[in-house]
Structure 1
Amino acid sequence: MSPARNNWLRLRTVIGLRWGAIGGQLLAVLIAHFVLGIDLAFELCVAVVLLSLAVNLSGTIVLPENKRLSAEYTAAILLFDLFQLAIMLYLTGGLTNPFVVLIVGPVVIAASALPVVQTVVLGGVALCLTSALGFWYRPMTIAGSEVLDLPDIYLFGMWLAVTIFTLFFGFYAARVTRDNNAMSEALVATQMALSREQRLSSLGGVVAAAAHELGTPLATIKLAAGELADDLASLPDADPRFAEDAQLIRAQADRCRDILADMGRAGKDDLHLHFVPLEALLHEAAEPHLDRGKEVIFRLDGHLESVRMLEQPVAARTPEVVHGLRNLVQNAVDFAQTTVWIDASWDDDRLRITVGDDGHGYPEDMIGRLGDPFLGRRKRRTWLRPGYEGMGLGLFIAKTLLERSGAVLTFTNGTEPKRRRGALTEPDLANPPGAVVDVQWPRELIAPLKDASRAALGQNSRNDEEQV
């Protein structure tokens, strides 16, 4: 468990749970003594319950209600609860008391909220106390004289059941909590990545607005500089350097205006490019990784060049799709030896993008778990991914974002890992021999066949001209 999660348990939550436990213990003692007629050390039992009540009251009064408890403080409270419960069980029959199973509760809470060390310690204490209750306890008597005496085989069965419950539920709670924490952290990272991509996409609009707003003051500067230059030129005694400076200001204002005009056009174009040709989408996703020393080959429907430029789909250019594909390309470039392949194919029903490399491929025993966050333990597989100590977060982000757009991802290998491969004599025509990620969308979700509103930039205007 990360240090940031060690202080997340609220005092209010612990106090509330302990009030429930105190009420339950007091109610059980009262019913057993006055209703069922069981002879037990009533005064001692009430005293033990009142001790727990005093501890709860002191915590409520001394500490602020919104306090976040540290792992050590929470472990101390649970340790106190274990001993308090063990004393209550000692006074009420030990393992003959069916409520002995409640000793599992603090261990489960520890497994859900505390690091492994504190959980193991509390689990060990719970098992030791349970074992002690099998030998030392105050027998319960019924109707004033009949001692509740159960066979040893029953007591052993109760001890074994509590031991198994403690181990199983403790491990189960710890594992589920760890997976939930990992998923939560990975989803936060995914949201941050998507937010960053959306902010970058929205910069086009900011640039266009800035170019529009700065146009007027630049025109004013240019006009004032021109008039100043003309006035200086008409003065016979004026220093010619002043006129040159005025002309320079005017020229630089013209330059700024041209730069802002280009930026404004680019920003407006970016806002309109919600749907682009499939080839442009693939190039945009791969662009940051094209100059990293690996050859990246693009193939549309099996062709290297854009021979089907007029026939290729117009695909949705969303931050989820762009960033998801970019992460897949980054992963392929990281682990490729020399070449990365990005293949796209389509028909009337589906659009498919495949990203592959000529690296060693995915470990066979991990293919089924690829896309889960924080796989870790990569050091044991350095022969497959040398120099890589990642946690699987990149693939998780890519998988999450692309699945959000409606895609289905399949991870596989071109050939069996560790198998000797021959040299690729014609990389342009080869199939990726290493790791391969297959991404498929239903065609209507990413590149509808007939939808005028989803045409590429300029397509609508051409259609309108043809109709006229």
Structure 2
Amino acid sequence: MSTAKPPMPHPTEAGNPPPVSSGLDRLDDATGLKNLQQLIQLRWIAVIGQLATIAVVNFGFGIALPLQQMLVVLSGLVLFNIISQLRWRTRRRVSNNELFLALLVDVAMLTAQLFLSGGATNPFTFLYLLQIALGAVLLQAWSVWTMVAITTACLISLTVFGRPLPLPLDPENGLTSPYMQGILVCFVLNAGLLVTFIMRISHNLQERDARLASLRQRAAEEEHIVRMGLLASGAAHELGTPLATLAVILGDWKHMPTFTADPDLQLEISEMQAQVLRCKTIVSGILLSAGEARGESSEKTSICTFLDELAEEWRSTRPVPSFSYKNQVDQDLPMVSDSTLKQMLCNVLDNALEASPTWVGLEAALDADTLTLTVTDRGPGFAPAMLAQLGKPYQSSKGRLGGGLGLFLVVNVARTLGGSVAAHNRPEGGAVVTITLPLTAITLGKDAAHAG
């Protein structure tokens, strides 16, 4: 299939494209929640690691620790993590200040544990670097530098006020030294946690950036649709006057003696009048779509009636030798006859006819809460590059300058209705375009149906 005349977008979407800022807010919400979840998981690992370290040092190395006080601090960390978990379940946006506060609590808990277990001589003081690294990834610049200042102040305080443990500082003994073993464990723990959680957080940020790029692309495409809608609307207004003039002239000619005496001229004038009337109908449809597609000119109908009338009208106005139409909608629901939807479907059918002049197929089916429209042809099919860029502007097999807007607008109209468009080539030859639309976007509610 190739692209043909473009349908007009839904007027609400064309006139007021959704702002990118609202989509960005949703992305920031999701990313902040994911990052908070990473901190919660990291904190549970810290709780388990502290319990294991306290047990090994106190009972394994025989170094007396203030167990009661350290367990109180650990209980405070557990309580804070439970509160953080409950906060995460609210699914509300996580701000920079909240993440900053959470990391400050972690720093405070770490400082308290270090103070109770050797102060600055504790090899696990290097865990401050983990908090700074996480802050550099998660926080704004002022928050990160504040974290650096606070952790530096904490380390200085441990140096001044901390009480060293009765632990021999004998690095000359290599790995047999408990101090060197502690430094090694701290390094491995720092490295492992940094790699694991910074990779996860970076992945969250990359997902946000990818979704943001998609939103920006969508906004650009919808802005393109707005420009196309304004152009089509302006052209339709300009064409209205000459078409009306032609209709009047042809009406006068039909009653002039010179033409009434010649049956052949009468037939030609009638054909010209029919073509002018068709042009006026097309112009009226463009203006309707550019203005109020569901306004006063719209009519209440049903899905089956809408599809049957559309198929019959398309068959009678196009030179198609064979048109296979299958309506498998078993539940006929009320809807509004929408010219935008009609033009979108006619566009795909016209594309199929241009690619396959001898046969075109249309099938409609209802599945749960979704209407599926499938257009099939027996033409050469889509080129792989076109399938990969389906819905992108100026992707056409016709080679015309400015071509390729048909399927671009079809995809965007379907998307504004909450649906989607997919395409693939048939093994036996030809192409299939599938339009999927949610019923909520095209049908009337029960109250509206009864009122109508």
Q: Shorter-chain TM-score: which interval?
A: 0.3 to 0.5
TM-score (norm 2): 0.39
Hey, which of these two has a bigger chunk of helix by percent? 2
Q: TM-score, length-normalised on structure 1?
A: 0.38
